[in-house]
Amino acid sequence: MQNQEKKQQWYTRIRQYVWSLFVAQRYLFSKKSHNTINIISIVSMCGVAVGSMALICVLSVLNGFEEMVQNSFTSFDPDLKITSQQGRVFDLDTEGWEKVRILDGVELFSEIFSGNVLVGFNGRQTPATVKGVSDNYAQLTGIKTLMIDGSFTLRGGAGSTAVVGVGVANTLSLGVDFVSPVALYVPKRNVKVNLTRPETAFRQHYLYASGVFAANQPEYDDEIVFVPIELAQELFDYSFSEVSSVEIKVKSGSQIEKVEEKIQAILGDSFTVQNRYEQQADFYRILQIEKWITFLILAFILLIATCNIIGSLSMLMINKQQDIALFFYLGADTKIVQFLFLLEGWMISVYGAVVGLAVGITLCLIQQYVGIIKMGEGFIVENYPVVLELGDVFLVFFTVVILGFLLASYPASVLRKHRVTKDDKEKM
């Protein structure tokens, strides 16, 4: 008997909630006695819709810029980069490095030697970073896709050649196949500077530029000069087995995280293994912070727009006083009637969110695949970058739903103290 009574209570409660949903929807779309209530409800819904549309559009634009920057880093940064924690240079003639070379999942293994130099050309000078790379470096990264002049060639008929960043080339007024060579100046190791002849403390090397690249990142374009690794090691007076880092390309189909863990286990804690995200961790962290700050600012604006729900529900409750008294008189308890008006406010926010997201998603998809808004001349990309992500859609929707629920709960809570009075009965 007790189980049947509990089931009956559950069925009754479900019917009451369904009834509340029906009445709330009827109140939302039916004509009120005071047209002002309809106007306030429409304004509330439009405010939520505009806020939702703006939020998804802005988040999609930030995703577009993030992907654009990631693509430029992807063309330059390797899948994995290994550096030493105990010094700038380390020796590869060890058993551990041989294991890394033949490790399953490693497709390409490239030695890198880098250091600071002074680059000179036709009386102009600028500090730069020489990056000596092995012959397979172009296969390791997408550097060839970044070339804007010449080609990525480090060995010519007359010897070694250099590939410079566009910032370095602009500073030196340097171009490909110029008659004059580029000069590299590197301080000699363990040599004191002779004040009478300071030039003797520097090692010099002349070579021609074979190409200019543009990664659209100042830390690369304004600083990097590519040369063969043997030349870099010779300039800095290191042996051919000593390098400053190792860059690895992971085989297609292999999980970068697992390969990273295996390499770290082989080399131990004296070396640092970084994937693409970890190589640019500070930059990606800034992008994420910027995205969340933008989201919070727009969410606050959306909260202000959603506050119209309080006014809309308050006006509706005043207009429906006789209905409320009738509901109580017919046996509805306070929770059911309270839930009715809570649903009313919630539906305003949900319908507004659905309309706003539908418009926002449509605009984002049109811009993403058609490109209506142009960036103008002189920019990296022709169209304004937009990338729509499903996670952002759910984030915006649930944000609006939660805000709508919280704001609607305030005017609905007024009904907790409501009781059917004699005056209410007489009005019915």
109: CB partners within 8 A, 6+ apart = 100, 101, 246, 248
Provide the H-helix boundaries in 239-280: 256-267, 276-279
Domain definitions of the chain by residue range = 14-71+284-427, 80-275
Average pLDDT, the chain: 80
220 neighbors 56 (Cβ within 8 angstroms): no
* pLDDT tens figures, 152-210: 988 876 688 899 999 999 999 888 877 788 999 888 877 666 655 666 667 888 998 98
What does the alpha-carbon distance between residue 130 and residue 225 come to, in Å, rounded to a whole number? 5
Provide the pLDDT for residue 334. 63
256 neighbors 106 (Cβ within 8 angstroms): no
Which whole number is the average pLDDT over 354-363? 93
36 falls in which pLDDT band (50, 70, 90)? low
Mean pLDDT check: name the lowest of 196-205, 289-298, 415-424: 415-424
pLDDT surpassing 80 at residue 117 = yes
Is pTM, for the whole model, over 0.75?
no
What does the alpha-carbon distance between residue 68 and residue 63 come to, in Å, rounded to a whole number? 9
Provide the pLDDT for residue 410. 66
Provide the pLDDT for residue 291. 87
346 falls in which pLDDT band (50, 70, 90)? confident
What does the alpha-carbon distance between residue 82 and residue 264 come to, in Å, rounded to a whole number? 9
Provide the H-helix boundaries in 162-208: 166-172
89 neighbors 238 (Cβ within 8 angstroms): yes
Which whole number is the average pLDDT over 12-37? 59
What does the alpha-carbon distance between residue 346 and residue 144 come to, in Å, rounded to a whole number? 55
pLDDT surpassing 50 at residue 35 = yes
What does the alpha-carbon distance between residue 18 and residue 25 come to, in Å, rounded to a whole number? 11
Q: Quick one: which of 247, 273, 251 has its CA closest to 111?
A: 247
What does the alpha-carbon distance between residue 165 and residue 76 come to, in Å, rounded to a whole number? 12
206 neighbors 181 (Cβ within 8 angstroms): yes
**H or E segment to which residue 22 belongs:** helix 2-29
Provide the H-helix boundaries in 104-192: 137-140, 166-172
- Provide the pairing of β-strand 124-133 with 106-121: antiparallel
Which whole number is the average pLDDT over 290-297? 88
Which sign does the torsion angle of CA 208, 214, 217, 222 carry? positive
What does the alpha-carbon distance between residue 48 and residue 134 come to, in Å, rounded to a whole number? 57
Provide the pLDDT for residue 227. 93
pLDDT surpassing 50 at residue 424 = no
- Looking at per-residue pLDDT, the higher value among 296 and 304 belongs to 296
